[in-house]
């Protein structure tokens, strides 16, 4: 199984820290955010990893090279300076990911989820990891019932940014710039997305304040 790490975003909410550095290279306990994912994926036996780049994207290969320092092999999916968003980025990366299901994760989260828990082959088009709703996202995203995701009902949970996907989720779409969220909602509405609830540590490192708080908690 391969993995895709989304690292192309501009990190606009993280300014001014991201004016000169991609958000994926901001550090927690002296290690870049993306480095935590590379380590966790390696522990789970995933060593073929695609990373998409966009904003200040040249810095990522300069910092990570081919991934050898993490024991993985990185394939780079370079996007324009105006990133393709998650849907378009995943669609472009399919050429590097192949025809089998793959893991995808956002670079700008920090968590203790064990990637080895993910199914190798989801029963539908995707399998998403959900977490308790953080203070900045109190209404959540989806409902988890009997292992399947739905759009209606309660209680709602928040999508962690971690999942397993079949290429068929986006392979039929044209190349371009679009988000993944509406594609997932359509698949959920069709009953084609399973899920699980991660109750461990998780943080959406979306602002300088959250990054600082995470570093304080990690001491």
CATH of the domain at 14: 3.90.550.10
Q: What is the pLDDT of residue 101?
A: 97
How many independent structural domains does the chain possess? 1
Tell whether the model's pLDDT for residue 65 goes beyond 60. Answer: yes
Tell whether the model's pLDDT for residue 124 goes beyond 70. Answer: yes
Q: What is the pLDDT of residue 17?
A: 66
Tell whether the model's pLDDT for residue 121 goes beyond 70. Answer: yes
Q: What is the pLDDT of residue 6?
A: 96
Of 72, 70, 61, 69, residue with least CA distance to 7:
61
Tell whether the model's pLDDT for residue 163 goes beyond 90. Answer: yes
The two three-digit tokens of residue 151, written as one number: 């759009």
Q: What is the mean pLDDT of residues 71-88?
A: 92
Q: What is the mean pLDDT of residues 17-22?
A: 80
Q: What is the pLDDT of residue 219?
A: 47
Its domain, for residue 93, covers: 3-217
CA 159, CA 201: separation in Å to the nearest integer?
Answer: 14
Helix (H, G, I), strand (E, B) or coil at 104: strand
Q: What is the pLDDT of residue 131?
A: 97
CA 14, CA 211: separation in Å to the nearest integer?
Answer: 9
Q: What is the pLDDT of residue 218?
A: 54
Of 80 and 24, the one with more pLDDT: 24
Q: What is the pLDDT of residue 162?
A: 98
CA atoms within 13 A on the CB side of 44: 22
Tell whether the model's pLDDT for residue 187 goes beyond 60. Answer: yes
CA 186, CA 169: separation in Å to the nearest integer?
Answer: 10
């Amino acid at each position: 199984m391969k993995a895709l790490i989304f690292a192309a975003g501009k990190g606009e909410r993280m300014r001014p820290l991201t004016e000169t550095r991609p958000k994926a290279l901001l550090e927690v306990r002296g290690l870049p955010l993306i480095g935590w994912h590379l380590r966790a994926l390696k522990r789970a036996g995933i060593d073929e990893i695609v990373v998409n780049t966009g904003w200040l994207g040249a810095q990522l290969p300069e910092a990570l090279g081919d991934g050898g320092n993490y024991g993985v092999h990185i394939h780079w999916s370079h996007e324009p300076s105006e990133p393709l968003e998650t849907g378009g980025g995943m669609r472009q990366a399919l050429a590097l990911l192949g025809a089998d299901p793959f893991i995808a994760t956002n670079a700008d989260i920090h968590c203790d989820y064990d990637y080895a828990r993910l199914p190798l082959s989801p029963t539908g088009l995707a399998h998403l990891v959900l977490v308790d709703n953080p203070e900045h996202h109190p209404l959540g995203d989806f409902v988890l019932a009997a292992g399947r995701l739905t759009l209606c009902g309660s209680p709602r949970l928040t999508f962690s940014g971690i999942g397993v996907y079949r290429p068929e989720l986006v392979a039929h779409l044209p190349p371009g710039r679009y988000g993944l969220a509406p594609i997932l909602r359509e698949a959920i509405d069709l009953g084609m997305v399973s899920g699980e609830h991660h109750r461990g540590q998780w943080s959406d490192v979306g602002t300088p304040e959250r990054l600082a708080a995470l570093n304080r908690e990690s001491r």
